[in-house]
Structure 1
Amino acid sequence: MDLILIIALLAVIGYMAIYFRGRYYLRDGFQNIQPAVYDSTAVLPGLKPEATYAETPIYKLEDYDTTEYGVVFENEGSRVAGKREISDAMVRYPMSWTSRPPSDQLFQDRREAFVNLAQADALEKPVNTDEFNSISGTKEQPPDTEAMEEEERKILQMYQPEETKDLMYYNIKDATNLVKRLYEKRGLVADVQPSKQGTNVFEIVEVTEKDPVIVYEDDVQVQRETLRGENAIQVPQVVNDLAAGLDPYFEPRSRTRMDRHDYSRWTPGLERSFAPTYNTREWY
């Protein structure tokens, strides 16, 4: 009998030692057979972001107070984003690596890949400098007259008449070809004609651009008025003295606008822009 009592006492002492050393007393009353909940938005409604649209029917104008009006006033009314606005914005994208702290491994890996990709693109693709040509100053530089004279000197040295049979006389074709080659370097076209001063004398009577840009005076005037904003005013039609005192918009007897802008009439679809004052179903 004493042996059974001693064994039972040792068992109780061992159970108490395991119970307290393992801190099983902290688990009493907290056992739950339901699975763990990882979506905190269902447990804590305060963490759920407010919807940007109406979740209840809108029957009158006051129903907008807790939907669009409230969202615009709270989120778009302040120019400076505080800690609360920044926290709410980061909660909306919990899986984005940009919202993680800089010490996070995922943030460091994604940031390194992003920076390396940007550097690789910069090395592979050459820098486009076409947008800086307007301020490069090349258009303001004077023409290189020395280079032009050197080109003309080379052309004159290489000149060999082809149509001339006698050295005392020249043909119009040879002179035309020579002048054409000289003026092509400048982007001009010269009209060579025999001179009235005598035989064997040719002169240039006209010089035109090789690819002229035709600009009409009327188009330039309209463009200038558009740039200055002077063509924004539309001159109304002339009315007689009897109709001068009538309102062309709200006077039903006026026919100056052919009923195209009769604002006193009912406009279809205009009521869709405004919510009713009182409860109205299917007002839209």
Structure 2
Amino acid sequence: MNIDFNAANSMYLVAKPGGPEGAWVYTPLNVKAPRTGGYLSSHQAFGNAGLFFGIHIYNPVNGNKVDKVGHSLQLCFSNKVDGSYLLGNDEQKEVFNLDIGAAARLYSFLTNKSASLVIVFSRPGMAVRRLTGERLDTSSDGGLTLIAVSGRGGEYNKISMSLSRSDQVNLALHCLGYVRLLYPSLSDTAIGEVLIACGDDFRACAENAPDDHTANPADLPRTADTHRKPVNPNVSKALWAIGNKKWPRRDLAALRKMQETLPPDELQALVDAGNAGDFSAWDSTADRL
């Protein structure tokens, strides 16, 4: 990754005058196809599946003006079929565009600072997708698997990719490189410390916060239960948000009971299932409580 990050930041991420009618415009990385964009750096990993990742810069075009810029750490998972890697020709490939926060979570996992990884991608009108990570046998080469999951078209799609040590290093360095592009004056050491500090194990993600005026009991003081492991308040809030908006049953009394009595792991499992649109466990849990 031989990149002059100061020069790249100034060239591609800073608008300059000179566009039509005096507009401020950006210099596209891919002049012929600004909207498609290109990669400052990229790497292709091969194993039981294919994983492409790169520092992506693109420019939405407004007429004949390049007056916007977008960027991400892009990951593309593709299948291996009959010994051949489908790569970009895979109709079932899963592409994730990570912002700086998601890149921090991924970096923390890759560098053994987080025990697990779950990043939920949700947009209105689109299926919820997940990027998760599992740490298996850390004594062997690899021992780390990234999993891409989606419910595209109502059908479950999953691609698992086992990463070798070298793949893990390359991906971690691309996390660093992506942040260096945005903050070129910071050192790699400073960026690494920030990424680790921000890459916690929090896994819950509510697609939408409640938009009514129903009070969230997770915000209210509670009597401590010394026999129960403390629950991350964000997980409890996510449970309430999903249950109050997306759960067909919308049983508020059951929601309160779940928040008050269920262990953290079970709460998180319900949040994950709810984000995927599967409320069967919610119904059975409500009936049980």
Give the TM-score of the pair, scaled to structure 2: 0.16
Computing the radius of gyration over CA atoms, which structure comes out larger, 1 or 2? 1
Structure having greater relative contact order (Cα 8 Å, sep ≥ 6):
1
Give the TM-score of the pair, scaled to structure 1: 0.16
Higher strand share: 2
Higher helix share: 1
